[in-house]
Chains A and B, each alone.
Chain A
Amino acid sequence: MLTERKLSKRLYNQLLFTGPTLLAFTCVILVPFVYGIYMTFFKWDGISSSMPFIGLDNYQAVLQDKKFWASVWLTIKYVAASVLIINVLGFALAYLVTSGIRGQNFFRASFFSPNLIGGLVLGFIWQFIFHIFLPSVGESTGWSIFEKTWLGDETKAFWALVIVTVWQYAGYMMVIFIAGLMSVPKDVLEAARIDGASGFRQIRHMILPLMVPSFIVTVFLSLQRSFMVYDVNYALTGGGPFGSTVMASMHVYDKAFQRFDYGVGQAEAFVLFFIVATITITQVYMTKKLEVEA
Chain B
Amino acid sequence: MKKLSWLTLVLVFMLVLSACGGNSSKNNEGNANSGASSSGSQNSQSKGGGSEKVKITILNSKAEIHNQMTEAAQLFMSANPDIEVEVISTTQDQSPVERASALYASGTPATLTMLDTGDIEKFADKALDLSNEKWVADLAQPFLVDGKTISFPFAVEGYGLIYNKEVLDKVSGGSFDPASINTTAKLEALFQKIEQAGIVPLYIGSMDWSLGNHFLAIAYATQPDTDVKGFIEVLKQGKADLVNNPSFNGLLDTFDVMKRYNGGKDDPMAVNYEQSTAMVAKGEAAMTFNGNWLITELLKSNPEGEYGFVPVPISNNEGDHANSSVAVDATKQFFLDAEKSTPAQQEAAKKFLNWLVYEAEGQDFQVNKANVIPAFKNINLELNNSLAIAINQYNLSGKSIEFAGNFVPGDHWKVLGASMQKYLADKADRATLAAEIEDYWKSMQ
Contact = CB atoms under 8 A, between A and B. Distances in A.
Nearest to B443: A65
A148 B270 contact: yes
Most B CB contacts (10 A, CB to CB) among A135, A255, A260 go to: A260
A20 interface: yes
A185 interface: no
B410 A259 contact: yes
Interface in A220-266: 238-244, 254-255, 257-260
Contacts of B270: 131, 135, 148-149, 152
Nearest to B424: A242
Nearest to B100: A47
Contacts of A258: 409-411, 414
Interface string B1-26: 00001001100110011011000000
B417 to A, nearest CB: 8
A111 to B, nearest CB: 31
A47 B269 contact: no
A243 B101 contact: no
A198 interface: no
A260 B410 CA distance: 7
Nearest to A15: B9
B13 A242 contact: no
Nearest to A153: B269
Interface in B262-298: 266-270, 272
A242 B16 contact: no
A243 B12 contact: no
B122 A152 contact: no
A24 interface: yes
B127 to A, nearest CB: 13
Most A CB contacts (10 A, CB to CB) among B19, B269, B425, B427 go to: B269
B421 interface: yes
A55 interface: no
Nearest to B123: A47
A46 interface: yes
Contacts of B421: 240-242
Contacts of A23: 13, 16-17, 20
B208 interface: yes
B419 interface: yes
Contact of A242 (B5, B95, B101, B425): B425
A241 B269 contact: yes
A20 B12 contact: yes
A46 B101 contact: yes
B427 A27 contact: no
Given A16-B9, A20-B12, A23-B16, A152 B418 contact: no
A20 B16 contact: yes
B97 interface: yes
Contacts of B379: none
Interface string B411-439: 10011001101100101000000000000
A241 B425 contact: yes
B420 to A, nearest CB: 9
Contacts of A257: 95, 410
Nearest to A135: B270
A24 B16 contact: yes
B12 A242 contact: no
B13 A19 contact: yes
Nearest to B422: A242
A230 to B, nearest CB: 14
Contact of B122 (A48, A131, A148, A255): A48
Nearest to A12: B9
Interface in B1-53: 5, 8-9, 12-13, 16-17, 19-20
B16 A243 contact: no
B101 A27 contact: no
Given A16-B5, A27-B16, A47-B97, A243 B269 contact: no
Contacts of A16: 5, 8-9
Given A239-B414, A242-B421, A151 B269 contact: yes
B410 A19 contact: no
A240 B418 contact: yes
B189 to A, nearest CB: 30
Interface string B173-195: 00000000000000000000000
Contact of A47 (B8, B122, B266): B122
Contacts of A254: 411, 414
Contacts of B95: 257
Interface in B92-145: 95, 97-98, 101, 122-123
Contacts of A12: 9
B208 A27 contact: no
A193 to B, nearest CB: 54
Interface of B: 5, 8-9, 12-13, 16-17, 19-20, 95, 97-98, 101, 122-123, 206, 208, 266-270, 272, 409-411, 414-415, 418-419, 421-422, 425, 427
Given A47-B123, A258-B411, A260-B409, 4 more contacts: A45-B122, A152-B270, A152-B425, A243-B419
20 contacts: A12-B9, A15-B9, A19-B12, A20-B12, A27-B16, A47-B97, A47-B101, A47-B122, A135-B267, A135-B270, A149-B269, A152-B206, A152-B269, A240-B418, A255-B411, A257-B410, A258-B409, A258-B414, A259-B409, A259-B410
